[in-house]
Amino acid sequence: MNEILKSIRKKILTTSALKKAGHIASSLSVVEILYFLHKNSSKDDRVILSKGHASLALYAVLNSLQKISDKDLISFCDFESILGGHPDRNKLPAAVASTGSLGHGLPIAVGIALAKKINSQNGKVYCVIGDGESNEGTIWESALLASHLKLDNLVCVIDDNDSQNRSVTTSLLVEKFKSFRWQTTCIEDGNSLEEIERAFSSLSSQFSPMCFVAKTKKGFGVKEIQRDIFTWHHKSPSPDELSRFMEDLS
């Protein structure tokens, strides 16, 4: 893990500890995906974090890219902060969509991608969803519509961190998106920036939308959280825990 990614994870942990809030396990799994997309997107691209509960990852990535200030980051979840527990497009310009209620980001992404086609606009629309979120019916309605409309400017990235393995297990996502006529690729290590870069280098227009299923680890970078992801689904670290977690990232 490079130093920038370690720094982003430290920001997630320290902000959560300071504010006693945040879904840090989900945020830690999606760091590489969000960092890659926001670092490499053009002014014409749009990036939507549909799994809005991982907002701390988005904010820490934007802070690392100097798109939001340190002052804004430490205001996370304050009453008048622009950074809420879920992204709000009316407060944060980098948030293309207000998300949090799962299953809404991809339908919005389909609409934006279609509008770009109609208006002959450049740029792609990237939408990051979770594996558990793919249980939502709106995901598959959007997948069907996107392939029907041949939205080759639409890219869905699935943060496949096994968050559903206690309830409705989500499996065979590659096969399922292929059956909806999406170009689909599995990224075997979605916490490897190099593997993400290699996968995206193969992105090409074939008159259909594209899906990347990125195999990630919930709580990645902090062994204690990885071992007990359900306890840490929505828990903030105590000072002692934060100290131990920082050692993992040293």
Q: Would you state the pLDDT for residue 162?
A: 85
Cβ proximity of 26 and 130 under 8 Å: yes
DSSP 105-131: HHHHHHHHHHHHHHTT----EEEEEET
Please compute the mean of the pLDDT values over residues 155-160 and round it to a whole number: 97
The mean pLDDT value of the chain amounts to: 94
Q: What CATH number does the domain containing 95 carry?
A: 3.40.50.970
Q: Would you state the pLDDT for residue 230?
A: 83
Written as six digits, the tokens of 188 are 């075997």
Question: Has residue 9 got a pLDDT over 70?
Answer: yes
pLDDT tens profile 87-135: 999 999 999 999 989 999 999 999 999 999 999 999 999 999 999 999 9
Cβ proximity of 37 and 157 under 8 Å: yes
Residues 6+ apart with CB under 8 A from 42: 122, 123
The total of structural domains in the chain comes to 1
Q: Would you state the pLDDT for residue 165?
A: 63
Q: Residue 9: give the domain boundaries.
A: 3-248
Q: Would you state the pLDDT for residue 95?
A: 95
Q: Would you state the pLDDT for residue 169?
A: 66
Written as six digits, the tokens of 138 are 């709106």
